[in-house]
Structure 1
C-alpha cells in the first residue's frame, strides 16, 4: 500500500464517520428529542452541542481530520489515477467541502450558537416555542443535506479505491 492508497483509505474512514454521525442525528437524535417539550428540547440540544463546542478531542480529530485527509488524498491522487478516478476523487472532495462543510459553517453552527446563547430556564413558554421554531426545521433541513452529501462522498471514495 502506497501513501496515496493509505490516505484514500483514511479519507474513506474519516468521511464515513462524519456521514454516520450526521446520519445518527438525522434518524435518531433529532427525532428522539423532537418528543420533548420546547424547553427540554432546547436544553437537550444545548448539552449535546456543548460537548462538541468544548472541542471534544475525538470528534474534532475526525471532523477536522476528514477535511485534511480528503484534501491530501485529492492532491496525492491527481498524478496517480486515471481520468475517471481522478474526476471521481475531485468530485468527492468538492461535494464534501461544499455539501457538508459549507452548510455546517453557514447554517448549522450559527443555529447552534443561537440556541447556545439562550437561557432556557429563564424564558417564557412562548419564547421557548419561538426559539425552537426558528431552530428545528432549518437545522434538520441543513443536516439532511449534509447527510446526503457525506454519504455520497463516502460512496465515491470507495468507488475510487475499488478502481485502483
Structure 2
C-alpha cells in the first residue's frame, strides 16, 4: 500500500506543481504583457486589484500546500524503498521552495506591497515611472518562478516514472510458480 500511496502522492505533487507553473506562466506571457500595453495608471490599478484578488483560500492552498505534498511524496517513496524516486521528489520540493516560494516572499510580494502603497495621487511619482520600475522586475522574477515550478514538476514526474528497485526478495517472489 505504501508504494501505491507514494505513486498517488507523486501524481498529486506533479499536478499541483504544474498548476503553479501554469499560474506563473499565464502571468508572464499574457497578463503582464496585456497590462504593459495599457496606460500605466490603468495597469497599476488593475494589478492592485489582481493582487487583492489573489489572496484567497484556493490560491493559498495551491501555493503553500504544494511543497508539503511534494515533501510527503518524497517521504512515502523513501518508506516504500523507492530511494531514487524519493530523491527526485525531494529535489522537486527543494526546487519549488527555493525557485518559486523564496522569490515570491523576497521579491514579488515586496514589489506588490510597493505597488499597493502607490496611491491615487501617485505619491509624487508619475504612474509611468512607477510601472516601469515595477513591471520588468516583477515579470522577470515571475518568469523565474514559473521556470523553477516547471523544473520541480519535471522532478516529480521523473520520480513518478522511476520504478521501484528490485531486491532479491522481489525477484525471487516473481520467479516462484
TM-score (structure 1 length as normaliser): 0.89
Aligned-residue offset at 1:117: 1.4
Q: 1:81 to 1:18 in 2, by over 3 A?
A: farther
Query: Residue 116 of structure 1 corresponds to which residue in structure 2?
Result: 116
Confirm whether residue 48 of structure 1 aligns to residue 69 of structure 2: no
- Distance in 1 between residues matched to 2:13 and 2:84, nearest whole Å: 18
CA distance in 2, matches of 1:158, 1:124: 47
The RMSD of aligned alpha carbons is 1.8
Quote the offset at 1:125 in angstroms.
8.6
Contact 2:70/2:156 (8 A) holds in 1: no
- Equivalenced residue count is 161
Larger radius of gyration: 2
Q: Take 2:15 and 2:52, find their aligned partners in 1: how far apart are those partners?
A: 25
The residue number in structure 2 matching 1:31 is 33
User: Which residue number in structure 2 is paired with residue 153 of structure 1?
Assistant: 152
Query: Tell me, which stretches of 5 or more residues in structure 2 are unaligned?
Result: 164-177
Q: CA deviation at 1:82?
A: 4.1
Using the TM superposition, name which of 129-138 and 24-33 deviates more.
Answer: 129-138
Indicate how the Cα distance of structure 1 residues 154 and 122 shifts in structure 2: closer, same or farther if over 3 A, else same: same
For residues 7 and 52 of structure 2, what CA distance do their matches in structure 1 show?
A: 36
How far apart, CA to CA, are the structure 2 residues paired with 1:82 and 1:76?
A: 9
> How many Å apart are 1:67 and its aligned residue?
2.1
Q: Which runs of 4+ in 1 moved over 6 A?
A: none
Residue 130 of structure 1 corresponds to 129
The CA distance in 2 between the partners of 1:163 and 1:7, in whole Å, is 14
1:84 and 1:67 mapped to 2: Cα distance? 18
Compared with structure 1, are the counterparts of its residues 124 and 105 closer, same or farther at alpha carbon in structure 2 (3 Å cutoff)? Answer: closer
Q: Which segment is superposed worse, 59-68 or 106-115?
A: 59-68
| In 2: Cα distance, 1:84 partner to 1:125 partner | 56
Matched, 1:20 2:19: no
Q: 1:46/1:81 Cα in 2 relative to 1: closer, same or farther (>3 Å)? A: farther
- Structure 1 residue aligned with 2:93: 93
